[in-house]
Amino acid sequence: MIDKVGFDNDKYLKEQKEYILSRVKKFKKLYLEFGGKLLFDMHAARVLPGYDPNVKIRLLQELKDKAGIIIAIYANAIERKKIRADFGITYDMDVLKLIDDLNDFGLDFLGVVITRYEGQPAAEQFKNKLERRGIKVYIHKYTKGYPTDVDLIVSEEGYGVNDYIKTDKSLVIVTGPGPNSGKLATCLSQIYHDFKNGIESGYAKFETFPIWNLPLKHPVNVAYEAATLDIKDFNLIDPFHLETYGEKAVNYNRDVEAFPIIKRILTKLMGEKDVYKSPTDMGVNRAGFGIINDEVVKEAAKQEIIRRFFNCKCEYLMGLTDEEAVLKAELLLKELNLKQEDRVVVTPARQEAYEAEQKGKGNDGIYCGAAIQLKDGTIIKGKNSQLLHAASSVIINAIKYLAKIPDNIHLIAPNITESIHKFKKDILHKKSVSLDLEETLVSLSISATTNPTVQYAIEKLKELRNCEMHITHIPTPGDESGIKKLGINLTSDPQFSTKSLFIN
């Protein structure tokens, strides 16, 4: 797993900045819909090795004198407490985090738009919370006439009923947590109000994936499909671009399906001036030009497809997705001739679980194994026991290896382990008293206060960031939280960690 670089951030930044500025020059004001994640784009970092997950923020910092930022969030996403999977936080909390991040980076934050607002109680509460912290909040309702009646859409009864966000910036970035947040509608609504006020505005879209100038079945583009199984996106050759220019360009179904109506709306607003000929024309993404080693990128993308397969299988078991998504995940593996075992940590983890079962060493009758691949390529294994979860075991074994500490040395003092077990059993009345990863990390920190060897081992936790790990069961909340905090790329087999339906 020695790190290989396939992407050049500086080359990409230069190309991307110049291309966006060339588009800005065509209008008095450009609304740029930012798809994907503005910050911490870990999917991009995984499939494009070398990609800075915060490179978009670096881009905006270079454009900060011209740019203002609007965050759009769908009211029902607030109401349903939709979760951002990579951070494990709700979309509304992600908005709060993003506002803090934008302020920390010194970027011009213009306000939050709650889209398709219909008086949802949770959305109203969120609006009040923001306003009482001095944050500007704007309300956009469902657009009357959308998608068929353009005359109604582009009228006082359509976009005209929406709040208008005034800004003197020539570039307005519209971002939001997750897909379907209302970013496009926010851009078009703003353009409508601008034209009423005599401001000639335009629209463009920034979407890192799929990468339009890579082949349709390039693993990076297939990995995008694997990442959007929940919303059932799929890639295709942009038919409008092919017909107009005779060139193949990759886009995805929602943009292609929406293009005719977007084009009609833009034509209604702008006349025939510079209306796009294809969905690809609307885009400004230059990520493909940052790829400097296609073979490295291909291999990384294949690994991401396998990760997404495991995630989908687990989500199906937990009732979070449907069988159609699982079948699509399996199909994507077959398209690229991939197997589960092509993820190198899968087989060692399963072997460890098998060995634990043969020895009869498990917890609650469940035998769990875990394996992590360190950055030098070494595979470290661990199993569950009456003392530790499998995730805890493998992390302790990994930092012992990195710190060159013998196996027979205890990192957690036995009296600490016994005290926690007694507390969980006698006070919290837990069925299982073995330590999950979060509890293990806290126990390590306590042990380090009296043992310099443990402190040295704890420092090695930093070296686990971006390492690959697999466990043979769905992680418990404490395991999952600890793994995310360590920045480890985790997959798991679709098996529950206990036979109990109610986890105590």
Please state the pTM of the whole predicted model: 0.91
* Cα–Cα distance for residue pair 7/253, rounded to 1 Å: 26
Which residue type does 364 have?
D
Token pair of 336, please?
A: 């690229």
Name which of 46-55, 368-377, 418-427 the model is least confident about: 418-427
pLDDT of residue 202: 92
- What's the pLDDT tens digit per position in 432-489? 778 999 999 999 999 999 999 999 999 999 999 999 999 999 999 999 999 999 999 9
- What's the pLDDT tens digit per position in 17-67? 999 999 999 999 999 999 888 888 999 999 999 999 999 999 999 999 999
CB contact at 8 A, 389 and 479: yes
Of the candidates 390, 345, 392, the one whose C-alpha atom is nearest the C-alpha of residue 364 is 390
pLDDT of residue 1: 54
Predicted confidence (pLDDT) at residue 351 exceeds the cutoff of 60: yes
Mean per-residue pLDDT, 176-197? 93
Of the candidates 345, 263, 337, the one whose C-alpha atom is nearest the C-alpha of residue 305 is 337
Q: Does domain 9-290 fall into CATH 3.40.50.300? A: no
Mean per-residue pLDDT, 216-229? 96
Nearest-5° Cα angle at 291, 285 to 293: 165
Q: pLDDT band for position 375 (50/70/90)?
A: very high
* Cα–Cα distance for residue pair 178/94, rounded to 1 Å: 10
Phi-psi domain of 7 (left: phi exceeds 0; alpha: psi -120 through 50; beta: other): beta
Domain range summary for the chain, segments of one domain joined by +: 9-290, 344-492
Predicted confidence (pLDDT) at residue 502 exceeds the cutoff of 60: no
Q: pLDDT band for position 424 (50/70/90)?
A: confident
Of the candidates 455, 424, 352, the one whose C-alpha atom is nearest the C-alpha of residue 394 is 352
Write out the CATH class of domain 344-492: alpha beta
CB contact at 8 A, 338 and 305: yes
- What's the pLDDT tens digit per position in 99-146? 999 999 999 999 999 999 999 999 999 999 999 999 999 999 999 999
Which residue type does 223 have?
A
pLDDT of residue 372: 98
Which residues make beta-bridge pairs with 175?
71
Which residues make beta-bridge pairs with 173?
32, 69
Q: Classify residue 147 by burial, with Cβ atoms within 10 Å: 0-12, 13-18, 19+.
A: middle
Maximum Cα–Cα distance across the chain: 78
pLDDT of residue 470: 98
Say how many residues make up the chain: 504
Neighbours of 362 (CB within 10 A): 17
Average pLDDT, the chain: 92
Which strand (E) or helix (H) includes residue 31?
A: strand 29-34
Phi-psi domain of 238 (left: phi exceeds 0; alpha: psi -120 through 50; beta: other): beta
Which residue type does 105 have?
F
Which residues make beta-bridge pairs with 289?
none
Query: What is 356-403 written as a DSSP string?
Result: HHHHT--BTTB--EEEEE-TTS-EEEEE--SSB-HHHHHHHHHHHHHH
Mean per-residue pLDDT, 421-435? 81
- What's the pLDDT tens digit per position in 136-148? 999 999 999 998 8
Predicted confidence (pLDDT) at residue 291 exceeds the cutoff of 80: yes
Mean per-residue pLDDT, 1-23? 92
